[in-house]
Structure 1
Amino acid sequence: MTELPIVVLPVGSDDDVLDACLAAIDSATPVGTRVWLADDARSGPRGHAIIERWLQRTALKADYTRRQRSIGEVAHLDEVLAACGAADVAVLAADALPLPGWLERLVGCLASDGAIASATPWCNAGETAAWPRIGEIAAMPSDPSRLARATAQMPPTHPELPAAVGHAVLLRGNARERAGGLDTASYGSWYAALIDLSLRLSGLGWRNVLCQSAFVARRGEGNALDGDMDRLAVRWPDWHARVAGFLMRDPLREARERLDRLVATIGPPPPQPDLFAPAHADAQAESDDDTAPATATRMS
């Protein structure tokens, strides 16, 4: 059986988003999966309490680290990826809400072709990987269980993307190492650093693809920091034209329409809890003074 990758979640500063994200990860990810909550000194006392309770309850092999001082989004994530060595790593956005089967299908996508370096699932706010409309931010899925079941029936054709998209991406470890990791000197945002990494991987002969059978929702698109897109344009002069051409040609139109039909015709889902409901509603009822720090960090 193929070993599941490490799931990395960069912890954000929005406690409610963190709570919902952890609940979705718990509901949608196989028991025993290694999960690393990586905190670049962004969470506060309530966030610590949410993480601590989640660590005590989850059936995942979860760990939490928190830096004493922030070093920036890209530098921190590059540090985390480097610590993972040659292991495959699935990176989730801080507001990601994965649907059931997301990780297993991303793994299957990577295993299907040794030339695939990055696999990106569908997302309601996934830019080039967006569903139901390319390049648009749609509302959160109203019936995530139905959507997950429909997505699972999509054919594993793995079409090419211009670059991986930051809502969720599975990165092949040895490809990431060969490309030299993230460029921490040029970019301040994961949004831009992932595009740059994808383009370097493509230049080395690897593929960045859409995993049509997986879906990870989120509340909005990622954003670049000031200057990041200008630096991308200098290093990759054809990048903007490449993305514009992809949006105009819309090679994923038939795939999105097929997923539309599957969602419309799939049978009723089996009874199960709300995938996106916060798992720790009881924590909200407790005193705001209950802000014990989370587990000890591994990074200084």
Structure 2
Amino acid sequence: MVVNGKNRIQVVVPVYKAQQATAQCLTLLLKHNKNDEVVIIDDGSDDAAISSMLSDFVSQSPHWQLFVNPENVGFVKTANRGLKLSFGHSLLLNTDTLVSAGWLQRFKECLRHVPDLATATPWSNNAEICSWPDTLQNNPIPTDIDALAGALNQSHQPVYPELPTAVGFCMLITAQAKQKIGYFNEAVFGHGYGEENDYSLRATASGLRNVLVDNAYVAHVGNQSFVELGLQPNQKTMQRLLAIHPEYSELIDDFIKKDPLGTLRQSITDKIGRF
């Protein structure tokens, strides 16, 4: 177990098959975060090619580690294993993401500026309420992600607006959140979907905050992470969530109706364009 500094973040990447998407994700992560702590956990992929690939990536940085589950236990248990590897802050990163230059530094700045922080999520092309430039849309992945990230950071002063829930594709979970409310609910959410919403609502109930890191950008290909299990959000997912948090639907519907991020999205678009 690693004890992190005050604003140090350990990136946790759960992996299950999806070799091509994982390779793309880790290539950019190595490019931008070779000197940061990165933990890769292979959830029993049982694939020699993937094992070899992951070992090769980890061998290129003394700060990266690889763990392997002896059998497939699902995303939630794998994520929890990663969260428990550090007493400090953790950032869960799906393998169907593409990180940008300076992305992790933006999260570290958020940690310094936002008190009582539980979770933080960046802008993305495909991140539900955190989608930009159009909300709730799968926007095209920018041709030059680094150029977009640079323009966003240089032209926009972050305000870290409140979110009703984090979006799990790229999700910071702070040390104080882990200490105060623990980890994902494995018993209820099984292999995945809904666990980040449950966690975010538990955080809010405990007096902590979920925010948008509105000067950070991470692209999200979508539906590639843990895809071989055929996992998709469905009615059963929502029923499990509403059984614990009956207020969730109304909370999200109200957020979407009021669209408190609308002015912010437009301001950013006016400054840097739509990319």
TM-score above 0.5, yes or no: yes
Q: Is the 8 A contact 2:75 2:192 kept in 1?
A: yes
Task: Give percent identity, aligned residues only.
Answer: 27
Alpha carbons of structure 1 residues 150 and 38: separation in structure 2 relative to 1, 3 Å: same
Deviations 1:175-222 (A, max 9, x none): 222112111111124431111011000000101000001111111268
Partner of 1:21: 25
| Equivalent residue in structure 1 for 2:237, among 225, 228, 249 | 228
**After superposition, where does 1:57-206 map in structure 2 within 5 Å?**
57=60, 59=61, 61-84=63-86, 86-153=87-154, 154-206=156-208
Q: Alignment partner for residue 241 of structure 1, among 237, 250, 261? A: 250
TM-fit CA distance, 1:164: 0.5
Moved more, 221-230 or 106-115: 221-230
Query: How far off its partner does 1:52 sit?
Result: 2.0
Q: 1:82 to 1:240 in 2, by over 3 A?
A: same
Q: Which deviates further from its counterpart, 41-50 or 178-187?
A: 41-50
Q: Contact conserved, 1:13 with 1:42, CA < 8 A, in 2?
A: yes
Structure 2: how far apart are the matches of 1:226 and 1:187? Answer: 13
CA–CA separation in structure 2 for the residues paired with 1:47 and 1:229:
33
Gaps of 5+ in 1: 267-300
**Deviation of the 1:262 alpha carbon:** 3.0
Tell me how far apart the structure 2 counterparts of residues 54 and 83 of structure 1 sit (CA, whole Å): 20
TM-score (norm 1): 0.82
Q: Which structure would you say has the larger RCO, counting Cα contacts within 8 Å and 6 or more residues apart? A: 1
Name the TM-score, length of structure 2 as normaliser: 0.89
Q: CA RMSD in A?
A: 2.0
Q: Which residue number in structure 2 is paired with residue 298 of structure 1?
A: none
AA aligned opposite 2:29: I
3-state SS of paired residue (1:212): strand
The answer for unaligned runs of 5 or more in structure 2 is 226-231
Query: Which residue of structure 2 aligns with residue 258 of structure 1?
Result: 267
Shift of 1:79: 2.3
From 7, 12, 16, the counterpart of 2:16: 12
Q: Which residue of 1 aligns with 2:228?
A: none
Larger CA deviation: 189-198 vs 204-213: 189-198
Matched residues, number: 263
Report which stretch shifted further, 219-228 or 197-206: 219-228
Cα offset, 1:43, TM superposition: 5.5
In our comparison, the structure showing a higher alpha carbon Rg is 1
Match of 2:77, as an amino acid? Answer: A
Cα separation, partners in 2 of 1:224 and 1:177, compared to 1, 3 Å: farther
